Amino acid sequence: MRATAAAGKLLAKLPLAKLARAKAAKAVDGFEDDEKLRNMSLDAYFTWFWDSTKSDYIRDRIDAEKPLSNYYILSQSRSIAKHAASYQSFKSTTVQDANRFLVEQWMHHLKREGMSANVIVDAMNAVRTPLSWAGKRGLFDEPFSLAGIVRPKERYRKRGILSRTEVAKIVALPTVEVVVPRPRLKNKEKNTSPAPTDLRMKAMLLDPPAKPMPSDTTRSDGIGPFLPQARPG
């Protein structure tokens, strides 16, 4: 009985009404934020989502100690700016009206524009995360999934490798301590002699940086490990 009475006195001292008002105000703020996002055009929403100075998603990732790399955020933002923000149907459609058919039509638009499969897949990835986040927050009038969209297959191409003879030639290249730029020639003449090779350049040729991709492949848009093409013997 004494414990119950003490608990009652403690509760009486707590500013319950103030806490309730604060909780209600927070709920209202959250509702208003969601409403703003629901009525935002898709092009503006995608741009906002990958803006590290404004995005709730990026800020929440930081608070959860799962931050995204600056390079990744910049890559997604550039992809949106180049391939999604200018799409007219995204400009005229709000987040709440987004649907799978609209995203699929945008993908077909990129194909007609001559974009490579790798570029299209990257652009699709840049809108997938914002749409998934919006779906989890209930921002769509009719929830949908992108799983039914058949995306183009990314293409990889084989790269040549150096022969033993070519490696020997690289090792035998004369090196200098400091590379001094060759003087400019007049009358639009061009230097025909080979440029000097320093030790760092030789090391890069013989030991290219490691990449997560297999060492003998690279994406057709040029993103991949550096390996000089083998010259025909």
Q: Where are the domains of the chain?
A: 31-154, 155-181+195-233
Strand locations in 152-194 (E) = 156-158, 175-176
In the structure, what pLDDT confidence band is assigned to residue 232 with cuts at 50, 70 and 90?
Answer: very low
How high is the pLDDT of residue 191?
A: 67
Q: Are 96 and 37 in contact (CB under 8 A)?
A: no
What does DSSP assign to residue 65?
T
pLDDT tops 90 at residue 211: no
Q: What long-range pairs does 164-168 form, CB within 8 A, spacing at least 24?
A: 166/230, 166/231, 167/206
Q: Are 100 and 145 in contact (CB under 8 A)?
A: yes
Render pLDDT for 9-52 as a digit per residue (tens, 0 to 9): 655 555 655 545 544 444 444 447 899 999 999 999 999 999 99
Q: Are 61 and 67 in contact (CB under 8 A)?
A: yes
pTM: 0.57
More confident residue, 220 or 120: 120
How high is the pLDDT of residue 204?
A: 57
How high is the pLDDT of residue 233?
A: 42
How high is the pLDDT of residue 154?
A: 82
Q: Are 113 and 86 in contact (CB under 8 A)?
A: no
